[in-house]
């Protein structure tokens, strides 16, 4: 059995990009692997958060994990800050990470662009992410394409430490889907769909009502040539909608294109609205019940205990190999 680890930030409502790029994989992997799914609250405070809202978002993400089909009997689900090993290992890795490589991270460059000064936490974000992964001897990390550079850095740090000290870490592999790994914003298909974009019609959140789903899809940016064809370079808007259609319906992109031959964008979008509504309805229905239940917190407590036991063993090995602690 392989060990799988991944995380989602509690920074707002999870959207179709998070679902198709990451969460869908989480569910698929849990039957044949030992999976650990984390709500990475320590990562979310690299940008300002309202404490009350943050606490509520943590429970929202936990409830969404379960609503999409993550089964706490099969997988460990927990909150990052409930296991102290994440912060502890993060410092140890910091001492083997270079400021040069961290300065090259595109997420850091994007999030700090135009600011005179950025929080040091934003700079260290990828090291904390590496700690999350290495703390659990992870083999596979299912994530969206935007995390490729962070996974590469995690591997580099693990290899560097293994070469310098005794073999300490398992070197993990990223797992990226062929389709769905990068869902673009509906209003601007040159940018990735994001929780933090200002325009709510740039994304579809998993909890959006039918009316909002319809509005966001019907006003999605396309182009003026009118042909339904998969060509991400020249037709990014239509290609993005085709990808969403394909992954949600389970049909190949070629089949979707063939079934809409001769149709206009309006008809295609209307069908996409229906498919999206159908896919999200059960998630929304599960969510309200789970979010209100007492069981949710019990699941997170149990998850933190199970994750904590694994983390403790790793930390002991790391400290031994580094010659720290007593
Ligand atoms: P923000 O959108 O606010 O920058 P985020 O959604 O990128 O945040 P996370 O919540 O940590 O950040 O992402 C959770 C998972 O969703 C990650 O595996 C990430 O790669 C994936 N993901 C995020 N956006 C997309 C997208 N547009 N398409 C596919 N996968 C995505
Ligand atoms: N940086 C990730 C979230 C994240 C993560 C992780 C993903 C934090 N720690 C460990 C996989 C493994 C993002 O998607 N923004």
pLDDT at 279: 96
How does the average pLDDT of the chain come out, rounded? 96
Question: Contact 280/208 with Cβ under 8 angstroms?
Answer: yes
Query: Measured from the CA of 144, which atom of ligand 2 is nearest?
Result: 14
pLDDT at 227: 94
Residue nearest ligand 2's atom 12 by CA: 6
Ligand nearest to the CA of 173: 2
Question: Is 195 annotated as catalytic?
Answer: yes
Cβ of 147 less than 6 Å from ligand 1: yes
Give 305's pLDDT tier (boundaries 50, 70, 90).
very high
Point out the catalytic residue in the list 195, 270, 277, 319.
195
pLDDT at 25: 95
Cα Rg of the chain (Å, integer): 21
**Cβ-based burial of 142 (10 A; exposed 0-12, middle 13-18, buried ≥19):** buried
* Section 196-220 average pLDDT: 96
Query: Measured from the CA of 5, which atom of ligand 2 is nearest?
Result: 12
Q: Could you tell me which residue, 96 or 13, shows the higher pLDDT?
A: 96
Ligand 1: residue of 111, 144, 178, 185 to mutate (most ligand atoms within 8 A of CB) is 144
Contacts of 252 (CB under 8 A, 6+ apart): 246
Ligand nearest to the CA of 6: 2
Point out the catalytic residue in the list 192, 214, 235, 269.
192
**First vs last Cα of the chain: how many Å apart?**
33
Q: Is the pLDDT of residue 196 over 90?
A: no
Q: Which residue do the tokens 């997170």 mark?
A: 300
3-class DSSP state for residue 34? strand
Cβ of 182 less than 6 Å from ligand 1: yes
pLDDT at 132: 99
pLDDT at 137: 98
What is the whole-number distance in angstroms between the Cα of residue 257 and the centre of ligand 2?
A: 33
* Domain 200-288: assigned CATH number: 1.10.240.10
* Section 269-277 average pLDDT: 98
Distance from C-alpha of 192 to C-alpha of 206, rounded to nearest angstrom: 16
Query: Measured from the CA of 142, which atom of ligand 1 is nearest?
Result: 18
* Section 205-222 average pLDDT: 97
What is the whole-number distance in angstroms between the Cα of residue 23 and the centre of ligand 1?
A: 10
Question: Contact 149/125 with Cβ under 8 angstroms?
Answer: no
CATH class of the domain whose range is 3-181+294-322: alpha beta
Question: Contact 105/66 with Cβ under 8 angstroms?
Answer: no
Q: Is the pLDDT of residue 41 over 90?
A: yes
Question: Is 297 annotated as catalytic?
Answer: no
Question: Is 319 annotated as catalytic?
Answer: no
pTM of the model: 0.96
* Section 45-71 average pLDDT: 97
- The least confident of 15-19, 193-197, 251-255, 308-312 is 193-197
137-195: pLDDT as tens digits: 999 999 999 999 999 999 999 999 999 999 999 999 999 998 878 999 999 999 999 98
pLDDT at 179: 84
The whole-angstrom distance between residue 206's C-alpha and the CA centroid of its chain comes to 13
Give percent above pLDDT 70 in the chain: 100
Strands (E), the chain: 2-8, 33-39, 76-79, 140-142, 173-175
Q: Could you tell me which residue, 13 or 141, shows the higher pLDDT?
A: 141
* Section 13-20 average pLDDT: 94
3-class DSSP state for residue 208? coil
What ranges do the domains of the chain cover? 3-181+294-322, 200-288
Q: Is the pLDDT of residue 12 over 90?
A: no
């Amino acid at each position: 059995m392989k060990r799988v680890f991944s995380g989602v930030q509690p920074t707002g409502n999870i959207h179709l990009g998070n679902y198709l790029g990451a969460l869908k994989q989480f569910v698929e992997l849990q039957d044949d692997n030992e999976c650990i799914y984390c709500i990475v609250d320590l990562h979310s405070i690299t940008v300002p958060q309202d404490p009350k809202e943050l606490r509520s978002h943590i429970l929202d993400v936990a409830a969404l994990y379960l609503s999409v089909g993550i089964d706490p009997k099969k997988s460990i689900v927990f909150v990052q800050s409930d296991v102290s090993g994440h912060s502890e290992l993060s410092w140890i890795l910091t001492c083997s990470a270079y400021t040069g490589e961290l300065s090259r991270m595109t997420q850091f460059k994007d999030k700090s662009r135009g600011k005179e000064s950025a929080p040091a936490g934003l700079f260290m974000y990828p090291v904390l992410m590496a700690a999350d992964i290495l703390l659990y001897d992870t083999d596979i990390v299912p994530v969206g394409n935007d995390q490729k550079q962070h996974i590469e850095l995690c591997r580099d740090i693990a290899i560097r430490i293994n070469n310098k000290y005794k073999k300490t870490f398992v070197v993990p592999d990223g797992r990226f889907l062929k389709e769905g790994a990068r869902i673009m914003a509906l209003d601007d298909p040159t940018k990735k769909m994001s929780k933090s974009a200002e325009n709510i019609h740039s994304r579809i959140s998993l909890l959006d009502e039918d009316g909002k789903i319809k509005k966001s899809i019907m006003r999605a940016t396309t182009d003026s040539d009118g042909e339904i064809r998969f060509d991400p370079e020249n037709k990014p808007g239509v290609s993005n909608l085709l990808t969403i259609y394909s992954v949600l319906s389970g049909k190949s992109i070629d089949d979707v294109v063939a079934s809409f031959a001769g149709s206009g964008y309006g008809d295609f979008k209307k069908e996409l609205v229906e498919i999206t509504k159908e896919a999200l309805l059960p998630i929304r229905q599960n969510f309200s019940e789970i979010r209100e239940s007492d069981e949710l917190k019990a699941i997170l407590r149990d998850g933190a205990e199970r994750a904590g036991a694994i983390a403790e063993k790793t930390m002991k090995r790391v400290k031994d190999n580094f010659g720290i602690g007593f």
